């Protein structure tokens, strides 16, 4: 099932991240973010960090690092695959799995570059609808959707 949300500002997208986090309520700790440059993926992560007691101002696009870690009541691991070539994504995947096993929240930008989405993860697709309008579609990855056509 897909839940959709419309936002009209960066702050609204941050607020939706809180809602999505409360919806997953401990049942998913991996959030796959998909959307073009400037869609609002990093803004969404900022919302996650604020919601888990971290400092949202620390969140930026990891320009030269693949992963940033934000401490809070729960640690948020922020992964950005943008700069990786497909074969580098494959090499990096074991590290992503290690992060997932640590039990914090793992948010992955450009998750459509993964060979396949992770079963049980929440997938958040953000589409720019012009101006500051964004459409967020949230769905849980299941074994059926995980084998991407």
Task: Single out the residue of 49, 53, 30, 36 nearest to residue 105, CA to CA.
Answer: 30
Residue 10 binding: pick among Mg ion, ligand ADP, none (C-beta 5-8 Å cut-off by kind): ligand ADP
13 is a contact residue toward Mg ion (CB under 5 A): no
Q: Helix or strand or coil: residue 27? A: coil
123 is a contact residue toward ligand ADP (CB under 6 A): no
Which residue in 22, 60, 61, 142 binds Mg ion (CB under 5 A)?
61
Is 50 in contact with 143 (CB distance < 8 Å)?
no
Bridge partners, 105 (sequence order): 76
CB atoms within 10 A of CB 103: 10
Which residue in 2, 26, 37, 101 binds ligand ADP (CB under 6 A)?
37
Q: Helix or strand or coil: residue 137? A: strand
42 is a contact residue toward Mg ion (CB under 5 A): yes
Q: Near Mg ion by CB under 5 A, which window of 8-16, 57-65, 68-76, 124-132?
A: 57-65
Near Mg ion in 70-129, by CB under 5 A: 109
Per DSSP, 82 falls in state T
Which residue in 20, 34, 39, 114 binds ligand ADP (CB under 6 A)?
39
Tokens of 113: 């570059």
Which residue in 17, 20, 32, 41 binds ligand ADP (CB under 6 A)?
41
Residue 103 binding: pick among ligand ADP, Mg ion, none (C-beta 5-8 Å cut-off by kind): none
53: left (phi over 0), alpha (psi -120 to 50) or beta: left
């Amino acid at each position: 099932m897909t839940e959709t949300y419309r936002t009209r500002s960066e702050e609204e997208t941050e607020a939706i991240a809180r809602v999505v986090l409360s919806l997953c309520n401990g049942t998913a700790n991996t959030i796959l973010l998909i959307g073009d440059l400037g869609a609002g993926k990093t803004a969404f992560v900022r919302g996650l960090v604020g919601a888990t007691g971290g400092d949202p101002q620390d969140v930026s696009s990891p320009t030269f690092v693949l992963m940033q870690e934000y401490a809070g009541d729960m640690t948020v691991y922020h992964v950005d695959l943008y700069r990786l070539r497909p074969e580098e994504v494959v090499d990096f995947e074991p590290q992503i799995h290690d992060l997932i096993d640590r039990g914090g929240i793992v948010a992955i930008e450009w998750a459509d570059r993964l060979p396949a989405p992770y079963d049980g993860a929440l997938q958040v697709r953000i589409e720019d609808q012009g101006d500051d309008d964004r459409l967020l579609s949230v769905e849980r990855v299941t074994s059926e959707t995980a084998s991407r056509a």
